[in-house]
Amino acid sequence: MNISIEKVSAFITQKRNEVESLLVFKHPTAGIQIPAGSVEPGEDIQTTAIRETYEETGLQHAKIEAYLGCMENELDAHQRIITHTTKVYIKPDLNAVPYKEKLTRGLTVDYRATHKNFTHVTYIEYAFDEHFKPKCIDYIIDGWVPTENLSAQKRRHFFHLSTEEKTADTWQLKSDRDYIFMPFWAPLKPKPHLIPPQDKWLDFVYEKLLDKNMGSA
């Protein structure tokens, strides 16, 4: 099993009409989020923050203001993370029938069992309601992957970014999986609502964001 995989989350702020605002986006099935993703091989975490900002919001002129810290390991005992994009098999055998879809690098999965060099995992994507609660299962894969493609550690880094780029209050963006994202600016106060576990990320950095954008008020 691999040692670790690095993740980055980007908190992008801008003052709009005298109101400090946070850039978030609405995923068509997975609720309100901030830009976040995996550090690619050979990439530093600062570059990842800028890249994910562009890929998930379209912003081309964001700059890093501060490093806000990290969570050393986001994973619970029953979770693993995919370290190399992998086929998923119906039984622990490379000759078994695989799923059509692969599990891509950076996805978090639930651990079920281990057999020899294979691990049984489940990956679920939920659709969320307006209260950020799962309302149904949108997508599921349950099967066996080579254990060498998994890790029990996921370290997440947090960055504060800003931009002077002029944008609409909300806009649309096509993602790499053909989803249509809808970025929009939300007031930083009161605290914006994000889907789990991103709500915990915001809790982790919120006071620092307020200090940097609003002073001690």
Q: What is the pLDDT of residues 176-195, one digit of tens each?
A: 777 899 999 999 999 999 99
pTM (two decimals): 0.85
Q: Please tell me the total count of domains within the chain.
A: 2
For a pLDDT cut of 90, what percent of the chain falls above it? 81
For a pLDDT cut of 70, what percent of the chain falls above it? 96
31-40: average pLDDT: 94
- 71-75: Cβ within 8 A, 24+ apart: 71/155, 71/156, 71/201, 71/204, 72/155, 73/153, 73/154, 73/155, 74/7, 74/108, 74/154, 74/155, 74/156, 74/197, 75/108, 75/152, 75/153, 75/154
Q: Read off φ and ψ for residue 213, nearest 5 degrees.
A: -105, -25
Domain that holds residue 144: 79-151
106-117: average pLDDT: 97
**Comparison of pLDDT for 216 and 189, the residue scoring more:** 189
DSSP three-state, residue 200:
helix
How high is the pLDDT of residue 141?
97
How high is the pLDDT of residue 215?
54
How high is the pLDDT of residue 213?
73
How high is the pLDDT of residue 86?
98
Same domain, 9 and 40: yes
Q: Is pLDDT of 162 > 60?
A: yes
Same domain, 57 and 118: no
Q: Residues 12, 162: contact at Cβ < 8 Å?
A: yes
How high is the pLDDT of residue 214?
62
Same domain, 164 and 140: no
Same domain, 195 and 182: yes
Same domain, 83 and 147: yes
Among 151, 181, 202, residue at a domain's last position: 151
Query: What's 87's domain CATH number?
Result: 2.30.30
How high is the pLDDT of residue 216?
39
Structure tokens, 215: 């002073």
Same domain, 145 and 158: no
Among 151, 166, 185, residue at a domain's last position: 151
Same domain, 17 and 44: yes
Same domain, 95 and 126: yes
Same domain, 171 and 65: yes
Query: What's 173's domain CATH number?
Result: 3.90.79.10
> What type of residue is 80?
R
| Window from 41-55, 66-80, 175-189 with minimum mean pLDDT | 175-189
Same domain, 36 and 133: no
Same domain, 147 and 162: no
Burial class (CB in 10 A: 0-12, 13-18, 19+), 13: buried
Which segments of the chain are extended strands (E)?
5-16, 19-27, 31-33, 36-38, 62-71, 79-82, 108-115, 118-128, 134-146, 150-151, 154-163, 173-174, 180-187
36-65: average pLDDT: 96
How high is the pLDDT of residue 1?
63
| Window from 4-18, 84-98, 172-186 with minimum mean pLDDT | 172-186
Same domain, 200 and 185: yes
| Window from 35-49, 95-109, 121-135, 142-156 with minimum mean pLDDT | 121-135
Among 151, 167, 196, residue at a domain's last position: 151
